[in-house]
Chain A
Amino acid sequence: MGLVLLAVIWLITFISTYFFIAKTWWLPVGASAAAAGIDHHFTTTFILMGIVFVAAQVALGYLVWSFRDRGNPAKVSYSHGNTTLEIVWTVLTTILFVGLNLTSSSIWASERFRPAAADSVQVEVTGMQFAWYFRYPGPDGKFGATNPELEDASAGGEAALGLDTKDPASKDDVVSGVMVVPVNREIEVILRAHDVIHSFFIPQMRFKQDAVPGLAIHMHFTPIQTGEYEILCAELCGLGHYKMHGIVRVVTPEEFDKWLAAREAEKL
C-alpha cells in the first residue's frame, strides 16, 4: 500500500506540474504595459511555490512508503520534536512568504497607489444588468451630468446612461457600446455601476476592478498592442452575468482621433 500511495501521489504531482510548466492552459498574451511585470511575478511565484509543492508531495509519498510497518519488531524513532528545527523552518517559511509578497509590492504600488497621469485618455465605464457602456468626455474634457430618472436601457447609448442632455457639458459626450482606445497612451478608466456590483475584467490587459454602485472608481492601464480584446464581467450580477461582455479595440492614435471625431460629428 505504501508503494501504491507513493506512486499515485508522485504521479498526480508530476502530471499537475507538467501542465503548469507546459502552459497548456495559460494566461493570454499580455497587451498592457503592466503585463510584463505581472507575468514575471507569476513566474517567480510559480517557481518558488512549485518547488515547495513538489518537495512536499514527493516527501510525503516517499515517507509513507519508506516508513511502512514491515512486520519486523523495529523500533520507531520516539521523539516529541525538535525545537531548533521548528524555529528554523518557521523563520525560513516566513522569509519566503512575506519576502515573495514584498517583491511584488512595487508593481502593486505603481498600478494602484498613483493616480492616472494628467494627460491620460479618460473613459467612463458603466456596468448595468447586463451590458457595458463607455463614455468619452469630448473636447471640453468634462463628463456631463447623468440622472437616474432619465435612464432608459432599451434605447441604448446615451439613454441607457441617463445622460442629462440639458447639461452643457453633456453636449459633446460620446457614448459607445464598444470601448475604443489609442495604443501606448495611459487610459484612465472611471468605473460606475447602475444597479449591482459588476467587475470590469480585460484578461489580456491584466486589468480587473469591481464597478460598485455608489462609487466612481478611478483606475488606469496602458495598452501596448493594437487589436481587439474581450471584456468580461467578473462579479456575479444576476442571471445575465455570463453574457455581460464587451470589446475593447486598441487602435493607433490616428484611428482613435478619427473614430472619436466621427462620433462627435454624429451628435451634431
Chain B
Amino acid sequence: MSTHESAVQAAHAHGAPQGFIRKWVFSLDHKVIGLQYYFLALVAVFVGMFLSLLMRIHLIWPTVALPLLGDIKPETYLTLVTMHGTIMVFFVLTTAPQGGFGNYFLPIQIGAPDMAFPVLNMLSFWTTLVGFIVMIAAFFVAGGAPLHGWTGYAPLSAVQSTGPGEGLGADLWIISIAIFCIGALMGALNFITTTLDMRAKGMTMMRMPLTVWAWFVTAILGLLAFGVLLSAGILLLMDRNLGTSFYVPLITVNGQLTGHKGGSPLLWQHLFWFFGHPEVYIAILPAMGLASQLLSVFSRKPIFGYKAMVYAILGIGFLGFMVWGHHMFMSGMSPYTAFAFSIMTMGIGVPSAIKTFNWLGTIWGGRIRFDSPMLFAIGFVSLFVSGGISGPFLAQPVLDIQLHDTYFVPGHFHLIMGVASIFGIFAATYYWFPKMFGRMMNESLARWHFWFSFIGTYAIFMPMHYLGMAGMPRRYSQMTEVGYLLDLIPLQKFITYAAFITIAGQLIFLVNLFWSMFKGKKAVDNPWEATTLEWTTATPPPHDNFGGHTPVVHNGPYEYGVPGAPRDYVMQTDPEIEPAH
C-alpha cells in the first residue's frame, strides 16, 4: 500500500464520524448499531406485550368491545397470537441480546476496535429495521395480518383462501421474515469473523468471557439455521403466489379445489423446525452467558467450571440441530423417528442441567452483592430451572400425546424464552447501562421492577401448566364452546389479572431507563468492580473502544477473590496472576 493511501486510511479510521447522520443514523460504529438494535427491540417488545394484553382480555371477556379497537373477532384473536409470537421471537429475543448487547460489547470484550465489517454491520441493522416495518405493515393491508400462528403451518399458511389475513398480510409476514433472515445472517457473519480474527493479544479462546462464547455460538447457530428458514419461506411464497405444490396436497377450501396437489404439509414442519429449534437456543444462549458473567461478578468469585460451561454452550449448540422432530411427535411423522428425536431431546437437557449446577456452584462460597443486575441473574436461574423442568415432560412422546398443543407448551416456552431470556435482557441493561450512558440506573426503581417481574411472570406462566394438564388447547380464541373449558375460566382470569399487573410493572423499567439516561447519577468507569475488558476503558467508550491502543490480556475473565491479590478482583489486563488452585 502506498504511503498516500495509508495516510488517507489512517485519517479515516482514527477520526470519529462527524455530523448527526454519520454519527447516529448511518453509523458504522458497532456501539451505535448495538443501541439501534436495542431500541428497535424495545419498541418491538412493547408492541408484542400490547398484543398479548389484548389476547388475555379477549380470552376471558370474549364479548366485550375494547375502546378504539371494538369487537375482537376470533380471527383477530388469532392474528394477535400470530403477530405476538412472531414479533417477540424475531424482533425482541433474536435482536436485543445478540444484535443489541452482542454488537455493543463483543468487540470490546475481546479487545477489538470494532466489528470485522462495519459497513455490513450497519446494513444488518437497517435490514432488520426494514423487516420490522414490513411486519407491522401486515396489520394495515386488506385482510389484515395473518392468523396462522408464528409457526405458519401449511396448508393454512400456503393457500390464500383458508382464512382472513391469509392474503397479502401473510405474504408480507413471509417477506418480513425473509428480510429478517438476511439481516441476521449478515450479523452472524460479523460476529463469527470478529471473534475468530480480531481478538487482542493474550485473549485466547479460553480467556474469552462466557458472554463472548455465547454470542459466538449463537451466531453459528444463526448462520446454519436462518438459511433453512429462508428456503422454507421461499417455497411458501411460491405455493401461495405461483401455484406450486411444495407443501399443499390435493385439498378443498370452502368446498373449492385449490389447484394444488401432491405437496407435503410435513415438509414445511421439517424445514421450519430445523430452523425453529436452534432459534430457541439462539434466544436463550446469550442470557446464559450473561448469567454466568453476573453470578461471578456479584458473588466475587470465578465462574465454577469455566471449561465445562464452554463445553455446555458448544453441546447445546450442536445438539440443538438434532432435536427438531420433538415439535412433530403428533404430526404424522414416523413413530420410530419420533423415538429417536425424543432420546436426543432428553440428551440436550444434560448440558443445560450442567450449567445450572455450575451457576449454583458459583454462588456457593461467594460474597453476594445484591445489585440489580444480580437480582435479575438470580431470577434468571430460578426461571430457567422452572421452564427447563417442564421440558422432559414434553420430550417424552407418551406424555406429549396429552400435552401437545395445550397450554402446557406455552407455559414451558414462556418461562424460558418469554421470561428467563427477557430477564437476561433486563440484567444486561442494568449491568451495562453505566458503561453505555455514563450514568447509573435508579436502584430503587430497579428493585420494584424486579419484584413485579419475578413474581408477576411466575403468576402468569406457572398456572398455564395446570391448564395444559386439564386439557386446555392452544390458540383457542374463547373457552365458551366446550363444557370442561368453562371450569378453567377462573384460572385464566387469574392469569389475565397477573398479566395486567406485570405489564404495568414494566413501565417502571421504561421510566427508569429514560430518566436515568439524562438524570442518573454519574457512573465511574468500573462501578461493579468487574474484570473484563469493557471495564478498563472510558465511559462511554471512545470511538475505537480503547483510546488509540490495543489492550494486552494476561488473565482469564473471572479472577475474583484471588488469594494473595491486593484487592478482590484482577482485571484481564493486569499482570498475570499465579495459578492458585
Given known contacts A38-B398, A76-B561, A232-B473, A9 and B335 CB-to-CB distance under 8 angstroms: no
Other-chain contact of B250, A49, A148, A208 (Cβ < 8 Å):
A148
- Do B385 and A42 touch (CB < 8 A)? no
Name the segment of B19-27, B70-78, B228-236, B424-432 touching the other chain.
B70-78
B254 within 8 A of A: yes
In contact, B398 and A210 (Cβ under 8 angstroms): no
Q: B156-164, B498-506, B525-533: which lies at the A interface? A: B156-164
A42/B399 contact (C-beta < 8 A), A2-B368, A78-B561, A208-B330 known: yes
Are B402 and A208 in contact, with the CB atoms below 8 A?
yes
Q: Are A60 and B335 neighbours in the complex by a CB distance under 8 Å?
A: no
Given contacts A45-B399, A234-B404, contact A80 B483 (CB under 8 A): no
Chain B residues contacting A253 (CB-CB under 8 Å) are none
Query: Could you say which residues of chain A place their CB within 8 Å of the CB of B369?
Result: 69
Answer whether residue A107 sits at the interface, using C-beta atoms and an 8 A cutoff: yes
Give the contact stretch, choosing among B28-36, B123-131, B303-311, B513-521: B303-311
Q: Knowing A28-B471, A89-B353, A197-B156, say if A59 contacts B360 (CB, 8 Å).
A: yes
Q: Does A120 contact B (CB under 8 A)?
A: no
A42 to B465, CA, bound (A): 13
Given A207-B401, A241-B476, check contact A195 B155 (CB 8 Å).
yes
Given A69-B369, A129-B254 in contact, is the A26-B356 Cβ separation under 8 Å? no
Stretch at the interface among A92-100, A133-141, A175-183, A260-268: A92-100
Please tell me if A226 contacts chain B, counting CB pairs below 8 Å: no
**Nearest CB of B to A88, in Å:** 10
Would you call A81 and B252 a contact (CB within 8 A)?
no
One of B336, B481, B580 near A113 (C-beta < 8 A):
B336
Q: A36 contacts the other chain (Cβ, under 8 Å)?
A: no
Contact of A196 among B162, B266, B332, B364 (CB under 8 A): B162
Nearest CB in chain A to that of B358: its residue: A81
The distance in angstroms between the C-alpha atoms of A26 and B408, with both chains bound, is 12
A27 to B402, Cβ gap below 8 A? Answer: yes
CB of B448 within 8 Å of the partner chain: no
Q: Mark A234-254, 1 if CB is under 8 A from B, else 0.
A: 111111111101000000000
Take A148-B252, A195-B162, A235-B153 as given contacts and tell me if A104 and B396 are in contact as well, using a CB distance cutoff of 8 Å: yes
Q: Which one of B255, B356, B454, B475 contacts A153 once the chains associate, using CB atoms below 8 Å?
A: B255
Identify which of residues 346-405 in chain B touch chain A, using a CB-to-CB cut-off of 8 Å: 346-347, 349-350, 353-354, 356-358, 360-361, 363-370, 375, 378, 381-382, 385-386, 389-390, 392-393, 395-399, 401-402, 404-405
> Is B549 close to A, CB under 8 A?
no
Q: Which residues of B contact A28 (CB under 8 A)?
A: 470-471, 484
A79 touching B304 in the complex, CB below 8 Å, given contacts A129-B254, A208-B402, A214-B249: yes
- Residues from chain B with a CB closer than 8 A to the CB of A20 are 465-466
Across the interface, do B481 and A53 meet the contact criterion of CB distance under 8 Å? no
Query: Is residue A5 contacting chain B, with contact meaning CB distance below 8 A?
Result: yes
Assembly CA distance A215 to B458 (angstroms): 41
B175 within 8 A of A: no
With a cutoff of 8 Å between Cβ atoms, the chain A residues found around residue B475 in the complex are 236, 241-242
**From B558, which residue of chain A is reached at the shortest CB distance?**
A80
A112 and B354 in contact, given A24-B466, A101-B395 (Cβ under 8 angstroms)? no
| Interface: A52 (CB within 8 A) | yes
**Closest chain A residue to B447, Cβ basis:** A1
- The CA-CA distance from A2 to B367 in the complex, in Å, is 11
**Number of residues on chain B facing chain A (CB within 8 A):** 117
- Whether B378 pairs with A5 at a CB distance below 8 angstroms is yes
- Are the CB atoms of B156 and A238 closer together than 8 Å? yes
> How many angstroms between the C-alpha atoms of A133 and B265 in the bound complex?
21
Tell me the residues in window 440-480 of chain B with beta carbons closer than 8 Å to chain A beta carbons.
451, 454-455, 458, 462, 465-467, 469-471, 473-479
Instruction: Tell me, yes or no, whether A31 is within 8 Å of chain B by CB.
Output: no
Q: Are B147 and A108 closer than 8 Å at their CB atoms?
A: no
B470→A26 contact, CB < 8 A? yes
Write the A113-125 contact mask toward B (1 if CB under 8 angstroms, else 0). Answer: 1000000000000
**B526-581, CB < 8 A from A:** 558, 560-563, 568, 580-581
Q: Are the C-beta atoms of B382 and A57 separated by less than 8 Å?
A: yes
Inter-chain contact A100/B265, CB cutoff 8 Å: no
Do B148 and A236 have beta carbons less than 8 Å apart? yes
Q: Report which of A1, A41, A64, A209 forms a contact with B396, defined as CB distance below 8 A.
A: A41
Q: Does B263 contact A (CB under 8 A)?
A: yes
Find the A residue at minimum CB distance from B556. A80
A8-B455, A203-B402, A210-B330 known; A81+B304 contact, CB < 8 A: yes
Contact, CB under 8 Å: A241 / B458: no
In chain A, residues 188-213, which have Cβ atoms closer than 8 Å to a Cβ of chain B?
A: 193-197, 199, 201, 203, 206-210, 212-213
Which A residues lie within 8 Å of B252 (CB)? 148, 151, 162, 194-195
B482 at interface (Cβ–Cβ under 8 A)? yes
Q: What's the minimum C-beta distance from A212 to chain B, rounded to whole angstroms?
A: 5
Return chain A residues, CB-CB under 8 Å to B476. 241-242
Which of B43-51, B86-94, B294-302 makes up part of the contact surface? B294-302
Contacts of A27 in B (CB 8 A): 402, 469-471
A residues contacting B by CB (< 8 A) are: 1-2, 5, 8-9, 12, 16, 19-20, 24-28, 38, 41-42, 45, 49, 52-53, 56-57, 59-60, 63-64, 67-70, 74-82, 85-86, 89-90, 93-94, 97-98, 100-102, 104-105, 107-109, 111-113, 129, 148-149, 151-153, 162, 193-197, 199, 201, 203, 206-210, 212-215, 217, 230, 232-243, 245
A-B contact pairs, 17 of them (CB 8 A): A25-B469, A26-B470, A27-B470, A57-B382, A60-B378, A69-B300, A69-B368, A76-B560, A77-B365, A78-B581, A81-B308, A100-B392, A194-B251, A208-B404, A236-B475, A239-B73, A242-B476
In the A-B complex, list the 9 residue pairs whose CB atoms are closest, starting with the nearest. A214-B249, A77-B365, A81-B305, A76-B561, A112-B335, A25-B466, A203-B471, A239-B75, A242-B476
